[in-house]
Amino acid sequence: LRGRLPRIFKIMERLHPEFTLAFKVMQFTGLRINELRALNLASFKKGNRSASLMVDKAKKKDGRIGATKAKKDARLPVDVGLLNELEKHAHDQGLARDGFLFPASYQHMLRALQNCYLAEQGWFILKPSPGYRILTLTKDILDHSDEEIDELRVPAATTGKRRTDGVLVESKTAMWKHCGVPALGTHAFRHLFASSLLSNNVDVNKVVSLMRHADERTIRQVYEHYLIDEDRDLADIDLISKAVEAA
């Protein structure tokens, strides 16, 4: 995902601009999707040169669950520039400090992310009922005009038109298989956050703290595979193990 992310974000600005900032927050904080959806400006503390975010453990907010897996409350460092973007977003949306910054449903956000991920690789997905219609893009999605993108999105509820081109599959599993790429979920941003810290030589104890796993041994189980895939020094795995044992 890391190498593809800049283009995916550019595509998201075209296809689903309402979610670009939400996924940027996940990328730079490691938040879980339910933590993101429970986020409001009251969760942040801002100083002159720094900012932080308080993540509550398993706390319901008007029916939404905050950190369902976190074992304790945690305060995370946040880039001031990112918080400025969130404040502008809240202002533009007319949100109070306790208003949800990203109120969309999980399924809506997931579908938007997957659409952009597949469009980056040459596929355009429509969600008819039932199934998924897969269109093969004849040129880069970023080279499409707004009018051409609107045409790709047919059928729209207001037109009553139906597409017959492309390939219609019955399930999301069949969709991923047809496109020939690994499935992607919102949790990928959390993995990206952790792997980026590790690859930039951030102290493993700090990574363990920022990830906030209920069982801190998880960080070895998940990122041992990452470290091997990236051909990093396998001694790092021992460092993770020692950090977990000392936690």
Tens-digit pLDDT profile for residues 209-237: 888 776 667 766 766 655 545 444 444 44
Q: Is residue 67 very low, low, confident or very high in pLDDT (cuts 50, 70, 90)? A: very low
Phi-psi map region of 166: left, alpha, beta (phi>0 left; psi -120 to 50 alpha): left
pLDDT at site 47 = 86
Distance CA 205, CA 241 (A): 10
pLDDT at site 59 = 55
pLDDT digits (tens, 9 = 90+) for 136-149: 999 999 999 999 99
pLDDT tops 80 at residue 204:
no
Burial of 6 from C-beta contacts in 10 A (0-12 / 13-18 / 19+): exposed
Which helix (H) or strand (E) element contains residue 165?
A: none
| Phi, psi values for residue 71, rounded to 5° | -90, -10
Beta strand residue intervals within 111-227, DSSP E: 123-126, 132-136, 167-169
Distance CA 81, CA 59 (A): 27
Its pTM stands at: 0.81
